[in-house]
Chain A
Amino acid sequence: MGAHWTYIAAAYGVAVVVIAGLVIHAVVDWRRQRVALNALEARGAPRRPR
């Protein structure tokens, strides 16, 4: 049964990598959009021509 722990460790390792990837991507993407929006708003939000 000892060898089975290799499969268990691999499964949980993949889960940690996938979930960490999702979390890091979510935070980085949010920050990137927030920074871009702040930069655009700092320049003065343009209005649609009437």
Chain B
Amino acid sequence: MASAPASSFSASLTGLANPTRFMDLSGRVLPWLVALTAVLLLFGLWLAFFVAPADYQQGDTARIMFIHVPSAWLSLLLYTMMAVSALGTLVWRHPLADVAQKAAAPLGAAFAFLCLVTGSLWGKPMWGAFWVWDARLTSMLVLFLMYCGILALWRTIEEPGRAARAVAILTLVGVVNIPIIKFSVDWWNTLHQPAGVLKLSGSAVDPSILWPLLEMAVAFTLLALTLHLVGMRTEILRRRVRTLTILAAERAEREAA
């Protein structure tokens, strides 16, 4: 009896592995996701500017955290998701794994870039410098460079299957940087403050700032999910176009011969 839910879960995963079924399902979900993301982003901005108070030490500059922290979380989350997709490509050969990985890379790069720039713009008034070679900042810069390398590799190899395997290996090599980023503030004496939002002992952030921050984190996550779904759908179309173009060229060649 216990195997029934497990088998239905596995059947639904197998069903989703079919790109046509994925296109159908994601096409139905997307309009709702777009609307929900827009509402949550606007609500989050209202909370960030009109509800959350100025920090008692940092003043209004702390409002930069409402975009900096979600961007940082998402850049780590997207890379972790890419690492799981890389396993999906290399081990399970899931047909959508490399599509998911390819669609996530530009998003991860954009959020890592946003994290670095907003952190820098916060650092100047708070630390007196746009940049310091601190362990957290440096490991975050390495993550951004990893994303750039992955994007470059996708463009270097034309055949999607070969590109996916090469990118999967590079992604799995780079995943070692994720715990380094997370624990850099604990392992080394850094200028960047330690984790304060999500801690086992309870958040160090006052609820008046914590809730708008978490709301923005949810809004940013939905934004990334929406853009990721659109990116995956576009990649599936791109591969269909590629296949049809090759078949058309082969047919033209046969007819000419």
- CB-CB under 8 A from A22, the residues of chain B are 106-107, 110, 227
Q: Which residues of A lie under 8 Å from residue B223 when comparing CB positions?
A: 19
Among B165-173, B174-182, B204-212, B241-249, the stretch in contact with A = B241-249
Give the contacting residue for B67; candidates A15, A25, A33, A43; CB below 8 A: A15
Kindly identify which residue among B68, B113, B254 contacts A11, using a CB–CB cutoff of 8 Å. Answer: B68
CA distance A10 to B59 in the complex (A): 16
A4-B125, A14-B118, A19-B223 known; A26-B61 Cβ under 8 A: no
Contact partner of A37 (CB less than 8 A), chosen from B113, B121, B240, is B240
Interface flag for B251 (CB, 8 Å): yes
Which range holds the interface residue count of chain A?
Answer: 20 to 34
Bound CA span A8–B251, Å: 58
Determine whether B136 belongs to the interface, using a CB cutoff of 8 Å to chain A.
no
Which residue of chain A lies nearest to B118 when distances are taken between CB atoms in the complex? Answer: A11
Q: Is the CB of A40 within 8 A of B241?
A: yes
A 1-49 contacts with B by CB, 8 A: 1, 3-5, 7-8, 10-12, 14-15, 18-19, 21-23, 25-27, 29-30, 33-34, 36-37, 40-41, 43, 45-49
| B118 / chain A contacts, CB cutoff of 8 Å | 11, 14-15
The secondary-structure label for the interface of chain B is helix
CB distance from A18 to the nearest CB of B (A): 5
Q: Which residue of B lies closest to A25 (CB)?
A: B106
A4 partner, pick from B61, B237, B240, B245, beta carbons under 8 A: B61
Residues of A within 8 A of B79 (CB): none
Q: Are A26 and B247 in contact (CB under 8 A)?
A: no
A18 pairs with B60, CB closer than 8 A = no
Note all chain A residues with C-beta closer than 8 A to B110.
18, 21-22
Chain A residues whose C-beta falls within 8 Å of the C-beta of B251 in the assembled complex:
46
Q: Given known contacts A7-B64, A8-B61, A8-B63, is B231 in contact with A40 (CB within 8 Å)?
A: no
Can you offer 26 A-B residue contacts whose CB atoms are under 8 A? A4-B61, A7-B121, A8-B60, A8-B63, A8-B121, A11-B64, A11-B68, A11-B121, A11-B122, A12-B67, A15-B71, A15-B118, A22-B107, A22-B110, A25-B106, A26-B227, A26-B234, A29-B231, A30-B237, A33-B237, A36-B237, A37-B244, A40-B241, A41-B244, A46-B244, A46-B251
